[in-house]
Amino acid sequence: MVTAPPKRAGGGRSGADRGYALLLALFVTLIATAAMMLGVAALGVQFREARAEAAGIRLDAMVDAAIAETLAHRHLLRVARRPFEGGWIESRVERRPGGRAVVTAHAALDGRVRGAEVQVVVTASGRRVLGWRVLGWRPADAGSARFGSAAQDPDAAP
């Protein structure tokens, strides 16, 4: 007849067995914690990228608004810098021969400035956009996008 070995005091396991089980549990906990930290870091990067993309889309819309406001005026009047949607917008108009003009607009939001330049021809029947160029963006403190004084701007109101 086979009998079980006699139980030892303390639950039947030796001290080495209990130490190994504790070490294994600590190792598994460490690995699980590291995996969760990596997941949180990856989510943080994704949220930061999504926030930056949303701010870029808002800046593009603000630049478009400044250009649309300029083109809506019968005589292509510039938009002086003014507050708009938590930031500011402005535009200027550079007239060229043959009824052509270049409209340059900038918008700033959350410390970033973005701009665009539009080539326009003005005829008796309206305006036609010939070309559109994005000027990119930069931090707002890297230099103002302001277009100089009213003395330098031919479109400035008298």
pLDDT 10s digits, 87-112 = 999 999 999 999 899 999 999 998 88
Tokens of 54: 């949303």
| Global model pTM greater than 0.75 | no
Give the helix/strand (H/E) hosting 31.
helix 15-72
Asked whether residue 8 is assigned to any structural domain, the reply reads: no
- Write out pLDDT tens, residues 49-63: 998 889 889 999 999
Structural domain range at position 117? 14-158
Higher pLDDT, 130 or 6: 130
Asked whether residue 85 is assigned to any structural domain, the reply reads: yes
Phi, psi of 45 (to 5 degrees): -65, -45
Asked whether residue 1 is assigned to any structural domain, the reply reads: no
Instruction: Please tell me the predicted confidence (pLDDT) of residue 47.
Output: 93
Cα–Cα nearest to 90, from 150, 50, 145, 127: 145
Tell me how many domains the chain contains. Answer: 1
Instruction: Report the 10 Å Cβ neighbour count for 77.
Output: 16
Q: In sequence order, what E strands does 22-68 have?
A: none
Asked whether residue 40 is assigned to any structural domain, the reply reads: yes
**Taking 50 as the threshold, does the pLDDT of residue 81 lie above it?**
yes
Instruction: Report the 10 Å Cβ neighbour count for 75.
Output: 7
Instruction: Please tell me the predicted confidence (pLDDT) of residue 157.
Output: 39
Asked whether residue 2 is assigned to any structural domain, the reply reads: no
Asked whether residue 46 is assigned to any structural domain, the reply reads: yes
**Taking 50 as the threshold, does the pLDDT of residue 152 lie above it?**
no
- In whole numbers, what is the pLDDT of the chain averaged over residues? 82
Instruction: Report the 10 Å Cβ neighbour count for 104.
Output: 22
